[in-house]
Structure 1
C-alpha cells in the first residue's frame, strides 16, 4: 500500500480578493507563504519522506511545493491543474452559480462557458493520481494541487462514512492507495 498526501496551495492574491481562480493564476500572498511554511513544519515534525513530489503546472502550486520541499526535485503535471471555469476566470466570486438543491458541485455549469465539468475534473485528477501511485508502490507521494480539483477528487472517491474535509489553503488530504482505489484517511490543516 502507498500513501498520497494531496495538498492545496497557499493563499493567493485572487483568494484574498475573492476572485474565481481556476486556469488563471495569481501569486501567493505573504499569508500563503506562511501557510506553506506551516505545512513544511508539519511534514518535518512527522519525519515524512516522499518517493515522489509533484505539483500542478500553475505557479501557485509549484511555488507552494518549493517552500514545503526547498531544493528538492519535483515534477509539474497538467493533470493536477485547477478546474477550468471558462469565461468566469478572474471574475468576482459572487458570480459563481447558486447551489442547486441536491447537488454538491457545479456539475456541468462551467462547461457551457468554455470550462470543465466536475466529471472531467474528477476523471483527470483520478487518472493522473492513479498513474503516480502505480509508480510509487509502497511509498509516500506529495502532490500539490487546488481547492476545486481536490474537491472533485474527493467527490469521486468518498465513502458514505467519510466526514467532509476542509479544503482550506494548504490543507492536506491523506489517502491510502491500494488495488486501484483511494481511501481518505485524514484531513490535516497545518497551523490552524
Structure 2
C-alpha cells in the first residue's frame, strides 16, 4: 500500500490572535489578514496542483471559515480537531499562560483544575482523530484545519528531530503509513 498524505493546517489569524487573548474552546472571527492568508494558501495549493480527496475541519468557526477560503469542496466538521480547552482562562490575556514545562514541551496538566484539558488529553484526542481520518480507505490526500495548541500537541508526538513553529495559516505536510505520521515540510504564507 502506498503512503497517504495529510496537510494539517492552522486556521487564519483571528481577532483574539491579534489581541493576544487565549482562545481555545471559545471562538473569535478571522481578521481581514486571516481571510486573505487563507485565500493565498488556496491559491498556492492550486498553483502546485495539490488537490484533496477529502477535507476536514475543527467544529470551531475560525477553522471552518479558513477551510472555506481554501477550497469550495465539501468537508466534514470533527470535534476531535478542536483547540485545547483552557477552562476559565478562555478569553483572558495570553500573559496569564503558565510557563511551558520544558520536560514535556507543553503546559502539561496546568489547565485541568480550571476546567480545561491536559496536554495528554489533547494529544490523544487529536492523534486518534487524525489516525481515524487517514485509515479511511478512500482518503489518500487529506486537508485538515485545526488550531495551534492542538497541532502543537500532535507535533510533539510525531516530530522529534526539531522544533516547529506553527503560525497562522501554515500547513504541515505529513506522509502517513501503517498508523504512523512522518513530517515532510511546512508550507508558510509569504507576506
TM-score (norm 2): 0.95
Deviation at 1:137, TM superposition (A): 5.5
Q: How does 1:9-158 map to 2 (within 5 A)?
A: 9-70=11-72, 72-136=73-137, 139-158=140-159
| Distance (Å, rounded) in 1 between the aligned partners of 2:101 and 2:134 | 34
SS in 1 for 2:22: coil
| Distance (Å, rounded) in 2 between the aligned partners of 1:101 and 1:49 | 38
Unaligned ranges ≥5, structure 1: none
SS in 2 for 1:142: strand
Deviation string 1:51-96 (CA, Å, 9 cap, x unpaired) is: 11000000000000000002x1100000000000000000000000
The question of whether the paired residues in 1 share the 8 Å contact of 2:53 and 2:139 is answered with: no
Q: Which residue of structure 2 aligns with residue 170 of structure 1?
A: 169
| Distance (Å, rounded) in 2 between the aligned partners of 1:166 and 1:186 | 12
Deviation at 1:191, TM superposition (A): 2.0
Deviation at 1:138, TM superposition (A): 6.6
SS in 1 for 2:111: helix
Unaligned ranges ≥5, structure 2: none
| Distance (Å, rounded) in 1 between the aligned partners of 2:114 and 2:91 | 14
SS in 2 for 1:109: coil
RMSD (Å) for aligned C-alpha atoms: 1.2
Deviation at 1:32, TM superposition (A): 0.4
